[in-house]
């Protein structure tokens, strides 16, 4: 190799940019491939927050976690979990230090943008039966037409029993869809702004076309659909008022690219951080500081409701931990550190105009540390301190984690938020860390396996 010039040496010393992992550490490719097989399974098993919780509990119990009991006392190394109303979860490995020294919090969310059924969803029109939907979270509505959808959720029947619904995931099951116009007749529709390509009240899902055979019935196609649901699940039309049913893409997680370097799937925001956080939690034994791994609900609609982080359920859990150690919870909070683990927008070479290339995150350059989110002048953002950035970078560098920094697009191009500000509100040092994603919030989001692997490594280092 030729000797470096003085200028090259100086540049090496003084400048920095995040390297491409595939070029810098190609040995990681096979490790990342292997790790992501489990991630793809997690995506396929968990297409709703409830399904994610159930699958996570299965993995946790297999690894020796027991349900958390506030009245019990725990030893370093003990592993527990707590489920909040079936839709959010907290897992803990007790540390060798007292919680008075603070805990390590890693919070990801397991709700994803989707189409919820309205409370009274079923109707018939021109001999076709449909579901009315109300979208949940930020979606680009036009992306949800003419694509196969599956039906997931829970119904509480009149007698109080619950029944889980899942149609459209097994190969022999039917799927559902929203129709869109053919190009031949879409002249007028094509003139609509893209945001109205499909309008909210046009997101109607086709569920049947055959009638119940009785000419005296007013809506026989709807009746046949109800009959089929009743046979399968024992539910009636009134039960939809006691239900949470989510229509999600009926597509499995898949490798993307000839080199299989990426993953395409629905719901990677933010199950990509949920899975890596959960694996880091499970793989942590005897940490110095107690771990608090949160898989939360409701992030996509602003963390509202009592399964979202804009409620006190995490605070109450921390109060229980503090009570067990006989220390005031405010002391625990003040000394704690939190990674708000969520995705960021990867630089998209097809749409460079919305990104600022020097402050964007890129596929294959590792997990992305996001100092602030928000919109306009950092509005509604948790702006992490220099001290906290230094702490998290030090933790990652010590374990050879590939990381990069990123902003959510150009200044004034848009914006967004995460759970960070709600954790920070409790007086916890909080910063966003996650995975770069392409086509975020679409039915088929794209991520890099090397980034998934390095995010897991970052979370693991955070608990070490």
The span of 99-107, 173-181, 245-253, 339-347 binding Mn ion (CB under 5 A) equals: 339-347
Please, where are the H alpha helices in 124-186?
A: none
Answer yes or no: are the C-beta atoms of 272 and 454 closer than 8 Å: no
Q: Closest CB to Mn ion among 28 and 370?
A: 370
Q: Closest CB to Mn ion among 124 and 269?
A: 269
DSSP 290: P
- Residue 95 CB, nearest distance to Mn ion (Å)? 28
- Residue 71 CB, nearest distance to Mn ion (Å)? 35
Q: Closest CB to Mn ion among 206 and 413?
A: 413
Contacting Mn ion (CB under 5 A), which of 270, 297, 407, 432?
Answer: 270
H/E stretch holding 162 reads strand 162-167
Q: Is 269 in the site for Mn ion (CB under 5 A)?
A: yes
Using omega within 30 degrees of 0 as the cis cutoff, is the peptide bond preceding 346 cis? no
The Cα 409–Cα 290 span in angstroms is 35
Q: Is 342 in the site for Mn ion (CB under 5 A)?
A: yes
Answer yes or no: are the C-beta atoms of 98 and 331 closer than 8 Å: no
The span of 223-231, 240-248, 264-272, 445-453 binding Mn ion (CB under 5 A) equals: 264-272
Q: Closest CB to Mn ion among 42 and 74?
A: 42
- Residue 333 CB, nearest distance to Mn ion (Å)? 23
Distance of CA 366 to the CA centre of its chain: 18
Answer yes or no: are the C-beta atoms of 309 and 342 closer than 8 Å: no
The span of 266-274, 349-357, 378-386, 449-457 binding Mn ion (CB under 5 A) equals: 266-274
Q: Closest CB to Mn ion among 270 and 297?
A: 270
- Residue 343 CB, nearest distance to Mn ion (Å)? 5
The Cα 186–Cα 417 span in angstroms is 35
Query: Cβ-closest residue to Mn ion?
Result: 270
Which tokens belong to 416? 């967004």
- Residue 299 CB, nearest distance to Mn ion (Å)? 6
Instruction: Identify the burial level of 18 via C-beta atoms within 10 angstroms of its C-beta, where 0-12 means exposed, 13-18 middle and 19 or more buried.
Output: middle
The Cα 154–Cα 156 span in angstroms is 7
Helix (H, G, I), strand (E, B) or coil at 131: strand
The span of 17-25, 70-78, 334-342, 425-433 binding Mn ion (CB under 5 A) equals: 334-342
Q: Is 297 in the site for Mn ion (CB under 5 A)?
A: no
For Mn ion (CB under 5 A), the number of binding residues is 3
- Residue 137 CB, nearest distance to Mn ion (Å)? 6
Nearest of 387, 385, 379 to residue 408 by alpha carbon: 379
- Residue 418 CB, nearest distance to Mn ion (Å)? 6
The Cα 276–Cα 176 span in angstroms is 31
Q: Is 124 in the site for Mn ion (CB under 5 A)?
A: no
Please give the residue ranges that form the binding site for Mn ion (CB under 5 A). Answer: 269-270, 342
């Amino acid at each position: 190799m030729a000797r470096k010039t003085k200028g090259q040496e100086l540049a090496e010393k003084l400048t920095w940019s995040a390297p491409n992992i595939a070029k810098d550490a190609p040995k990681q490719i096979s490790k990342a491939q292997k790790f992501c097989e489990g991630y793809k399974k997690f995506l396929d098993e968990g297409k709703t927050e409830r399904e994610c919780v159930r699958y996570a509990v299965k993995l946790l119990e297999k690894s020796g976690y027991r349900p958390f009991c506030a009245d019990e006392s725990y030893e370093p190394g003990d592993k527990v979990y707590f489920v909040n109303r079936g839709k959010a979860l907290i897992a803990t490995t007790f540390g060798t230090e007292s919680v008075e020294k603070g805990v390590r919090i890693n919070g990801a969310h397991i709700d994803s943008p989707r189409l919820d059924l309205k409370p009274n969803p079923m109707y018939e029109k021109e001999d076709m039966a449909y579901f009315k939907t109300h979208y949940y979270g930020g979606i680009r509505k036009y992306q949800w037409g003419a694509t196969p959808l599956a039906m997931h959720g829970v119904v509480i029947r009149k007698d109080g029993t619950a029944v889980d619904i899942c149609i459209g995931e097994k190969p022999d099951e039917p799927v559902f869809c929203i129709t869109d116009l053919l190009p031949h007749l879409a002249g007028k529709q094509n003139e609509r702004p893209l945001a109205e390509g499909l309008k909210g009240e046009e997101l109607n899902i086709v569920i049947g076309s055959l009638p119940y055979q009785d000419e005296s019935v007013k809506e026989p196609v709807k009746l046949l659909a109800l009959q089929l649901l009743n046979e399968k699940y024992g539910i009636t039309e009134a039960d939809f008022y006691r239900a949470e049913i989510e229509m999600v893409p009926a597509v499995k997680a898949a490798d993307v690219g000839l080199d299989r370097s990426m993953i395409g799937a629905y719901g990677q925001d933010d199950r990509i951080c949920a899975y890596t956080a959960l694996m880091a939690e499970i793989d942590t034994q005897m940490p110095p500081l107690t771990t608090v791994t949160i898989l939360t609900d409701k992030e996509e609609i602003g963390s509202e409701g009592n399964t979202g982080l804009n409620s006190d359920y995490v605070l109450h859990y921390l109060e229980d931990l503090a009570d067990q150690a006989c220390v005031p919870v405010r002391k625990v909070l003040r000394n704690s550190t939190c990674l708000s683990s969520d995705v960021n927008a990867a630089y998209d070479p097809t749409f460079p105009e919305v990104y600022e290339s020097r402050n964007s995150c890129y596929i294959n350059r590792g997990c992305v540390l996001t100092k602030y989110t928000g919109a306009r002048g950092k509005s509604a953002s948790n702006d992490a301190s220099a001290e906290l950035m230094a702490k998290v970078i030090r933790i990652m560098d010590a374990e050879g984690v590939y990381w990069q920094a990123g902003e959510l697009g150009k200044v004034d191009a848009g914006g967004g938020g995460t759970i960070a500000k709600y954790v920070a509100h409790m007086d916890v040092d909080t910063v966003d860390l996650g995975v770069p994603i392409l086509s975020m919030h679409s039915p088929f989001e794209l991520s890099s396996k090397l980034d998934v692997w390095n995010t897991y490594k970052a979370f693991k280092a955070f608990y070490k």
